[in-house]
Structure 1
Amino acid sequence: MQVVLREVHDSDLPVFYRQMNDPEALRMAAFTSEDPADRDAFDALWKRIRSNEVARTILAAGDVVGSAAVYGAPGEREVTYWVDRAYWGRGVATAALHALLTEVAERPLYARTAADNEGSRRVLEKCGFQVSAQARGFANARGQEIDELVLTLER
């Protein structure tokens, strides 16, 4: 399956909103906005991301299947991605993250994932990230504090 990145279009946002409100995906991601169903907050977040950060739409076989971005202050920049659950386990997230990392040469880059999110951890490690720290944080999607991994890409 061919995976490519492109600039985010306004027409992608309703798709992202639907994807980011999938209950199973929310639970897996764990660290989400306080209220993912708040469309005004979602729109404000994406307006900020699109104006200040590197944000891309993930296309698989021509369909919008998710998003990938690099955000944050210099020296503390993080990657994030979201892939529609229908495409999990098919290499889409790994291909998209690899493409994003090719586009963004800045290092180090960081990523965070729930410690029990093995799929996300595998994606990050396949792209060269290594676990650099463990933490605990409040996971809005789970309503409790959980273990979190911090991963770093040095080069």
Structure 2
Amino acid sequence: MAHIELRPLTDADRDAAFQAVHDSRSAWPNAVGGDRPAFDGWVDRDDVDAQVIVQDDDVVGVAAAMDRGDDREILLALVPGIGDEAPSEALRLLTAQEAERPLYACVAADDDPSHDLLARIGFVEHERDGDDVVYVLPPTLE
């Protein structure tokens, strides 16, 4: 079993992180810009908490949380072909770090693996916005 962890994105990680985001199937890289200067600008924003997803010492993606108005949204982008373990564990780790609920995630309508992954963690469909589906992880009752 591979070891998956999230750790803060450092300057030394930026090339690998950008490449992972650029190569991923995730729809959100277009929202942060398709080139390196736009990616660096997005990572450096005060409202973005970006981390790298590390599998066995290799950067395989980026996990981030950011403010969207009064809401908190999470984003994942992983290199293609990484399998199910890294995305599942990265999402579990990220949602555990983000205490605020509700917590939102947006994925492309045709990204079936992401829909399944979010559902396994407890996200439910909130709304459809064009070609995207917005999911929410609602607060839990204690």
TM-score, length-normalised on structure 1? 0.80
Equivalent in 57, 65, 74 of residue 62 of structure 1:
57
CA positional deviation for 1:73: 4.0
Q: 1:34 to 1:152 in 2, by over 3 A?
A: closer
Equivalent in 34, 41, 45 of residue 44 of structure 1:
41
TM-score, length-normalised on structure 2? 0.86
Equivalent in 90, 99, 102 of residue 105 of structure 1:
99
Q: Is the 8 A contact 1:6 1:56 kept in 2?
A: yes
1:93 aligns with 2:91: no
Letter in 2 for 1:33: A
After TM superposition, the structure 1 = structure 2 runs for residues 3-152 of structure 1, keeping only pairs within 5 Å, are: 3-22=4-23, 25=24, 28-31=25-28, 32-33=30-31, 35-36=33-34, 38-48=35-45, 51-73=46-68, 75-87=70-82, 89-136=83-130, 147-152=131-136
Give the paired residue count: 137
Counterpart for residue 3 of structure 2? 2
Q: 1:35 to 1:57 in 2, by over 3 A?
A: closer
Determine helix, strand or coil for the equivalent of 2:44.
helix
CA positional deviation for 1:34: 7.4
CA positional deviation for 1:53: 3.0
CA distance in 1, matches of 2:106, 2:84: 21
Q: Is the 8 A contact 1:75 1:108 kept in 2?
A: no
1:88-119 residue CA offsets vs partner (Å, 9 max, x unmatched): x3321110110111111110011111111011
Determine helix, strand or coil for the equivalent of 1:77.
strand
CA positional deviation for 1:75: 3.7
| Structure 1 stretches of at least 4 aligned residues deviating more than 4 Å after TM superposition | none
In structure 2, runs of 5+ residues without a counterpart are none
Q: Is the 8 A contact 1:7 1:56 kept in 2?
A: yes
